[in-house]
Amino acid sequence: MIKPLRLLALAGAASLSLTTSALAQPATETAVLAGGCFWGMESVFEHVKGVKDVVSGYAGGSSRDASYDKVSGEGTGHAEAVRITFDPRQVSYAQLLKIYFAVAHDPTQVNRQGPDVGPSYRSAIFPQNAAQKQLATNFIQQLRARGNKIATKIESGGFYPAEAYHQDFARRNSNYPYIVINDAPKVAKLKRTYPQFYRA
């Protein structure tokens, strides 16, 4: 797991380089991030100030194969991912990346997160535009330059929402053992480490 303090200066510098006037910024932007089971990723980002919506789904691969049964069979090329709609006037893409690397998952693990193993649980960023791609690439390069063994890849491909029963799973099933063991600690870490980003 990446130490949060190492990301503070990096995200701040990245934010400064991409700053535009508030009037020029769109009302919302979209980020697509993969980092293990989408239940946990969704749960973390739902608690970030400025995030308007988080949808669990499948990134990469083709639309015809974007179902839980097929993706979990590890033959479709998809990654479990989340699509985050956010207000860039409240939280920047760089700040979302900071949370992604330091809280939401372990970017040093290859094709797994905790108990979940396989390519569909890989660490991957799916940039939605050229600026996001450049920022994510720079982020990874600088983390690696500091000695971190980052497994995260920059990928392309569409996003396909998961089945309804996966949406808001952690919020609706807070006592489910998997959530208690694997995902609730991530939300607690967000609140503890980055209180300026946390919302209940």
Known catalytic residues are: 37
Query: HEC states along 160-191?
Result: EECCHHHCCHHHHCCCCHHHHHHHHHHHHHHH
For residue 42, what are the CA distances in angstroms to 23, 55, 142, 144, 168? 29, 7, 26, 26, 7
**Is residue 57 within 8 Å of residue 159, measured between CB atoms?**
yes
Cβ count near 65 (within 10 Å): 16
User: For residue 181, which amino acid is it?
Assistant: I
Q: What are phi and psi of 47, to 5 degrees?
A: -100, 15
Q: Are the beta carbons of 126 and 132 closer than 8 angstroms?
A: no
How many helical (H) and strand (E) elements, i.e. helices and strands, does the chain have?
Answer: 8, 8
Query: CB of 98 within 8 A of CB of 60?
Result: no
Cα Dmax for the chain: 46
Tokens of 125: 């960023």
